[in-house]
Amino acid sequence: MRIPNTTGSTVLEEITINASKGGYTNAQLVQSAAIRAEAAIGGVGRFAGTAKHTYAGNLLNRYQRLYGDRGLKVNEYFNGRFGKGFLDVHDVDHKIIYDFKFGRPIMRAAQFNKYYNTFGEPIYIVDRYGNLIPR
């Protein structure tokens, strides 16, 4: 979902306006964060990817600090029987895992198995255009 910035308002203001009207789901907030990160950072490669992950996570955290917890845990660390790692975004209220992929939107089997075996929740790849790709 793309949100045009035609009024000169900030990104967070635009998201807030629509969210306050009941316009955004958690999935749409995650999608919007990915789109905004891509637009703000651009570029390719691991350094750009890391910067985009950080930007998107900061946007989601800031939104929740200002307007209330939506159950979106950003960069959540886990260490379980099937491995350890960090989830990009974990929607704990709806039990969904979102994984940003700003390069090729592909999740390797090892990563999928680690996430799924640990949490048993649906996993969605979020690409640079905000598309949700079920894994």
Over the chain (135 residues), the average pLDDT of each successive run of 10 is 39 48 85 98 96 98 95 97 97 98 97 97 98 96
pTM of the model: 0.83
Predicted local distance difference test score (pLDDT) of residue 106: 96
How many CB atoms lie under 10 A from the CB of residue 50? 12
126 within 8 A of 34, measured Cβ to Cβ: yes
Longest dimension (CA), the chain: 49
Angle at 47 (CA atoms; ends 44, 51), nearest 5 degrees? 95
Q: Given this model, what pLDDT does residue 22 score?
A: 60
| Cα–Cα distance measured from residue 126 to residue 99, given in angstroms and rounded to the nearest whole number | 6
Residue 73 neighbours by CB under 8 Å, 6+ apart: 87, 89, 90, 91, 92
Provide the pLDDT for residue 23.
66
Q: Cα dist. 18→1, 88, 124, 125 in Å?
A: 12, 24, 23, 24
Reduce the DSSP state of residue 77 to 3 states and report it: strand
Tell me the sheet residues that pair with 133.
125
- Cα separation, 69 vs 9, whole angstroms: 23
